[in-house]
Structure 1
């Protein structure tokens, strides 16, 4: 089965439509206020009206549970991605599919860390101190050793020229890209989206 593709950090209706038209399985909306790709619930609602149901993933970083639930219900999210320092207890008991991001911090036993989380999926991202994600820094695929690839998204500096190699090496459930298909932060390059998805799914 072809790898699933999540185009993350989408900020406009046009970019969301382009991602879905190109074959994206998921569209990621970032609700972290300090991200250059942050969207308001109002903007997210407009995007939700423009794409098929079941595709929207909300990205949150150490957000209060009540805020996450309010936004998820208001926008109509199909999954929640926790991209901060949320613990295992925080990740339990949601009424949505869940994804927990883990970052490949040097010296961390990622397999042991991943085993703590009861989420539906995990997302492996590169580590940059002080930045929860979307850094463009490439991930060493070796960091995925011992992780459950059947429920793993791989992120971290992916772009059209590198995604096929990562998919062939790891065979993850999905790949996730933000900066690698951008014209500038918060605005996607539609040609890059198309090429990224084509190469990922052909690998």
Structure 2
């Protein structure tokens, strides 16, 4: 069964909604974003999570020292790198990592194998931000990848399209943020619907 990550958690209530609905992972954004959370708040939320729930921090072009500090202080399970981090940087980091790849064209997946050793997150490259734009990409590009066992699929996923996405791409995990929001805030019913659809296959 495909795992589900609810990203952009900003408070305990949102975390509780996600857990009650069956989320396998929660994402906390430490990069500049409308969903950014401070370290103290994230650490407080993570301290109350069950051990089996993955705690993932989202970063863009941060230093190794900063990543190590937040990883330790928040007690994260993974750092998700949404910037221009190289394969060498990821390998030398010494932390469990998820490398996000923005996909506009099939050619954007060339070299994905160089990041082997961590999880790969395929997100839409369409939109003004590094992630959370609510846009999709052509899922047939992802199907050409040989990394299904370690792939996380993101980008424009909603309760209405997640079943189709999982069927076509067969990812290890699906990642949603804006697709479970109403007017920029997490929506409990949308979280429930998304996870129910994702786990119905």
TM-score w.r.t. length of structure 1: 0.92
- Poorly superposed stretches of 4+, deviation over 3 Å: 93-96
Equivalent residues of 2:78, 2:98 under 8 A apart:
yes
Equivalent residues of 2:143, 2:168 under 8 A apart:
no
Q: Distance in 2 between matches of 1:169 and 1:114?
A: 19
Once the two structures are superposed, the pairs formed by residues 107-186 of structure 1 within 5 Å of their partners are 108-110=107-109, 112-128=110-126, 130-147=128-145, 148-185=147-184
- The CA deviation at 1:130 is 4.3
- The CA deviation at 1:160 is 0.6
Q: Note if 1:49 corresponds to 2:32.
A: no
- The CA deviation at 1:83 is 0.8
Q: Distance in 1 between matches of 2:107 and 2:28?
A: 28
Name the structure where helix makes up a greater proportion of residues: 2
Root mean square deviation, CA, Å: 1.5
Q: Note if 1:83 corresponds to 2:82.
A: yes
Q: Distance in 2 between matches of 1:164 and 1:87?
A: 32
Unaligned runs of 5+ in 1: none
What secondary structure, in the 3-state scheme, does the structure 1 residue paired with 2:192 have?
A: helix
- The CA deviation at 1:43 is 1.1
Q: Distance in 2 between matches of 1:11 and 1:130?
A: 21
TM-score w.r.t. length of structure 2: 0.93
Larger CA deviation: 173-182 vs 91-100? 91-100
Unaligned runs of 5+ in 2: none
Deviations 1:138-173 (A, max 9, x none): 222112032211110111100110101111112111
Q: Note if 1:38 corresponds to 2:36.
A: yes
- The CA deviation at 1:118 is 3.0
- Structure 1 residue aligned with 2:91: 92
